[in-house]
Amino acid sequence: MPLATMADVRRAQRVLLYGVTGSGKSTAALALGARRGLPVHLVDEEFGWLGNWVQRPVEEMRALVAAAASEPEWVFDTAYGSFRDLVEPRAEVVIGLDYPRWLSLHRLLRRTVTRLVDRQPICNGNVETLRQAFSRDSIIAWHFRSFTRKRATMRGWAARADGPAIILLRHARELDELLTALD
């Protein structure tokens, strides 16, 4: 993928945010969408999870994502492996949040503790529980299982000569600078 410039980000009508678990993709997507006036798709909320922490069947998820990705304008806050082939080729720019593990893990732990305390519903009415937070299927365990693979995906995209333009951000302050430049 060619490296993206600020001009690419300013004119892109379809942007994919991608990063490791806990990197702040959803927050970044909402901020980018607000600044650019683009509709935002929060994947976990809209496509990924049903009530009682049941993951939506892959075929149904792919159909919903295909419809959203076919629209002329959007920001996706991630792309699961099960449907990345529907989103990544349509993206005009990919913004990779390639942050160090300590930063994304710190954010994830802080977010998890906050959600355990405030019990705010997420992902179609689901609530994080203490039992879930320490289970082998927890979001924290997922961070450790997926970190290397997600980082390799972003870096692999950046090394390719084809595909959408990509910008890899190595620290949250770089995202802040990018968003400020869009104001």
* Residue 10 pLDDT exceeds 80: yes
In this prediction, residue 20 carries a pLDDT of 92
The pLDDT-based confidence of 66 (bands split at 50, 70, 90) is very high
Report the chain's C-alpha Rg in angstroms.
16
The mean pLDDT of 131-139, rounded to a whole number, is 82
Q: Which CATH superfamily is domain 6-176 in?
A: P-loop containing nucleotide triphosphate hydrolases (3.40.50.300)
Name which of 74, 94, 76, 71 is nearest 26 in CA terms: 76
pLDDT in tens, 119-134: 988 888 878 888 887 8
Can you give the residue ranges of every domain in the chain? 6-176
Percent share of the chain, pLDDT over 90: 65
The DSSP call for residue 160 is: -
Q: How far is CA 44 from CA 21, 53, 157, in A?
A: 12, 11, 23
Question: How crowded is residue 10: how many other Cβ atoms within 10 Å of its Cβ?
Answer: 12
126: tokens are 């689901």
Question: How crowded is residue 72: how many other Cβ atoms within 10 Å of its Cβ?
Answer: 9
The mean pLDDT of 42-66, rounded to a whole number, is 93
